[in-house]
Structure formats: C-alpha cells, structure tokens
Chains A and B, each alone.
Chain A
Amino acid sequence: MKFDLLPKLGVGLGFREPFRADVFLNQDKIDFLEITADHYIDTTKEKERELDLLKRHFTLIPHGINLSLGSAEGIDELYLERLARLIETIEPPYFSEHICFTKAGGISIGHLSPLPFTREAVDVISRNIETVRTKISVPLILENITYMMRFPDTEMNEADFVSKIVLENDCGLLLDVTNLYINSVNQKYDWREYLEKLPLERVVQIHFVGGHKHKELLIDSHSHKTPDEIWEVTKEVMKRAPVKSAILERDENFPPFDELLKELETAREIGRMFKRWD
C-alpha cells in the first residue's frame, strides 16, 4: 500500500453526540470527522439518519474499538461483517483500529487491553488482519494504546512491537501522541527514542487530547485540553512524519466548543509549519 497516495484530510474532530449542532455551525473550521464505528453498527434509526447527515457534510473516518485484532481466538465474524457494511456505506479513504484485544473466552472486556510484546502476539494480529482484509479492502491504520500492565513474558520493547505489526502487515500508523507521551511517563522511557524506532513514513494520522493525573500515573481520559508536553510531541511527529490528518479526541468534561476549535487551530498551525497541509 502506498500510504503517500492517501488524501491529506487536515485537522478534524472525533465526533460525539454533544457536538452535533456545533460541528454543523463550524463546518468551515473542521476539515473532517472521525466517527466511532461501534456507534453506528447495529444501531437505531436516529443514528442512521445522523450518519447520513454527517456523511453529506464531512469526510468521515471510521475508528473501530471492538474488532479485537489481538484476540488469539480470532475475529468475531458477525462484528466484522457489520463493520464491513458500515465502511461500504461511508466509503472512507481508510479506517482505523487499535493494537489490543477486547474479547476473550466469550467475555467482552469493555476496554482496550494490552498485548504482551511477543512474536506470538504479532503473529495473532497478522492472522486477524488477513481475515479482516477478506471483507474490507479499504486501507487499515493501527493505533498505539496506553497500558499500565507489563507482562512477564515480553520479548521486545513497545516501539519494536508496533513497528513489526505495521511493517509486516502493510498497515498505516495512527500515532496517538497522547498515548505515546502517557506511556513514556508511566513506563519511564524517552518518547524521542521511541520515535526513532518507529517507521515514521507509515504515520498517516495522529490523535491528540489531554488526560489527567491519578497519583503518579497519567491516565488517557480524553478529558482535558491538550497540554504543552503533548503539543511538543505533536510538533516532533509533524516535523518527521508525513502526517495527513490529525484528530482531537475529546470524550469527557466537554468545554465550550470554541475551546475545541482553538485546539484544532493549534494543530492546524503546527501542520502548516511543517507543510503537512495548506
């Protein structure tokens, strides 16, 4: 896959229902929207109408949270078929998912759960991506998650793990700069060294937002404005990687919409500084 052929989408917002009126009122300031795919799978008539309306006004990028690409027991075929139908409806230039597992042994964990950084986990993800590609031909980009748990049987570091998955499966990278920063603090590593190890030419999109602190840990709660430290990571990534799109991923503690627009403008300026878009 030639990722440089993907369109430059600019700076957008992770769509959440409370933003509904504001995104239409500020269409000229939002280049595209990322939608949570699960909100539109097996859904209500109202959500179908919402999706149709959004599609008529914005480029939409579906962002999956429950494909569970890291599940050793394989992909949930029914979920995959529904996701494939949604993607057919939206016709996006690409779609995204996480490097994690969310289901095992009939249990839905309810959150993005980390994988051990092992060869076996890379192989499991590769098999699952192969299955996904039998139903979805749109390019897939993969996101790094935050993790608190470290497994005793780890065979490589996180950056090597992510790189192997992306390179061996011809995927793009959705680099969540907030997750990268949070992991670097919680796991005590240097995010610049992490970037050195990544195939930065594969970065298609970034996510940015602020989290909160709980005791000594940083939490990716998507609940606060993007702090300076994360803008610094954003700058470094924009400088070095051919980023085509950036999404503000705010989920909680919503501020006045103008504050979100300011953050979009900051990201837009950073992208312009490094000629990532006009």
Chain B
Amino acid sequence: MGLAEQQKALARLYTDTDLREQFLIEPVNVGKEIGLNEDEAKKLSEVSKDELTFFSESLVWKRLNEVTKLLPLVRKAVGKDFEKMFFEFSATYNPTGVKKHLEDTIAFCSYLEKRVEGDWIFDLIRFEKAFLEFNGLNRKCLVRCFSFDLRKAIENLSNDENVDSIEKKCWCGIWLRLGKKGKAKFYRIFIPSVLFLRHLR
C-alpha cells in the first residue's frame, strides 16, 4: 500500500468513530469503503486496536479542550453534559482550515442551540457564539437579538456561582468595529425602549 492511500485511510479512521469501530471488526469490508484492497486492509488492521483507538480518542479530547477554552460561560452553564454533547457532536463534524478550533466551536454552538431551545442557556450560547464570530472572524458589524437579560448569568458564571433565575427581557447586542484601527465596541439595546443604550467597553 502506498503512503498516500494509507494516510487517506488513517485520516478517516482517526476522525470517524463508527467507521473505525466497524473497521476493527471487519477490516476487509470496511477497507473497501475507504479505498483499500484486501491485502492493504489486512495490513492496516495489524496496527494495534488499542493504539489506534487511543490516538483517535485523543484527537477528540484535544478538540474538546480547545472548544472549552473558547466557550468558558457555556461550559459552566451546560455543566457535565457539555463533554457528552461534544463527543456526540464531534462524530458529525470535522473542522478544517487554519481557524479549525474556532470553526469547531461555532459549529458546536449551532449544535447546542438545537438542544436547549427556549432556555436562557440558549441565549447564552448565541451570545458567546456571536462574540466568537465577531472577534474570530474579523466581522465589522454583528447584531443579535436575545430574550433573556444575561448580565446576572454572566456575572454569576464568571464567579463560579449558581445561576438561579434569569429575567426575561428582550434586547439586541451590537458588535461594531470602529475607526481606522478597527477598535471593537459592544452595545446593548433593550427593546422596546432605546433609553438603555449602554456603552459597555
């Protein structure tokens, strides 16, 4: 087997849990799916099952670690289900490109949004996602509307305190890049009144 074929097969086995598990059971059949002939599949299956699994799982832990760093508030709000949901998500998405951790995190936010709809955590996910989209993707302007007043939740989570009840209150977050240097600004406008325009930083 040439190195190119071996690497293509390995890349799929490292990043696709179901495929890997199937390959470890039926290397020849699954090998065909990933472009290996019978001999090549048998040869590759000589790689230790434990070593292959350990390396592949370490890739997901590495992704989780990076995503956790980018979503500190959501991680705390979601709690221990965060890891479980990331492992489910990781099997459905593989980021590419230079900003892969950012892409991974934004895609994970979209995945989480579908699971917690209606709750203040839904707003928090969208809030932290908007922050990443604006800062990480160099957006000039970003507007998002929210249904819960997240200030208390953010304060509590930042101080590692419990979040008891969050007031329902509609508002828009506006992220802007101003001036020649593109300095980032964030504004919060409560709806319907615009009297609460606040320049936060």
Interface residues of A (CB under 8 A from B): 38, 41-42, 44-46, 66, 70-73, 79, 82, 101, 103-111, 113, 115-116, 118, 120-121, 124, 148-153, 217, 219, 252
Contact = CB atoms under 8 A, between A and B. Distances in A.
A31 to B, nearest CB: 28
B11 A120 contact: no
Interface stretch (B47-55, B117-125, B167-175): B47-55
**Shortest Cβ-Cβ A-B pairs, 10 listed:** A105-B8, A72-B4, A104-B7, A104-B11, A152-B46, A107-B11, A72-B3, A108-B96, A149-B51, A45-B182
B181 interface: yes
A3 B134 CA distance: 44
Contacts of B201: none
Contacts of B51: 148-150
Interface residues of B, number: 40
A38 B182 CA distance: 22
Contact of A120 (B3, B47, B48, B136): B3
Nearest to B139: A44
Contact of A116 (B3, B55, B100): B3
Nearest to A153: B43
B33 to A, nearest CB: 13
A42 B181 CA distance: 17
22 contacts: A42-B98, A44-B135, A45-B177, A46-B184, A70-B7, A72-B2, A72-B7, A104-B11, A107-B12, A107-B96, A108-B94, A108-B96, A108-B100, A109-B14, A109-B59, A110-B59, A110-B100, A116-B3, A118-B3, A121-B3, A150-B48, A219-B58
A150 B7 contact: no
A123 B199 CA distance: 58
Contact of B98 (A41, A46, A153): A41
Q: Of A46, A70, A149, which is in contact with the most chain B CB atoms at under 10 Å from its CB?
A: A149
A151 B1 CA distance: 12
A106 B4 CA distance: 12
Contacts of B156: none
Interface in B1-53: 1-4, 6-8, 10-12, 14-15, 43-44, 46-48, 51-52
A105 B98 contact: no
Given A148-B54, A149-B55, A105 B3 contact: no
Contacts of A113: 10-11, 14, 55
A150 B55 CA distance: 11
Contacts of B1: 153
Contacts of A219: 58
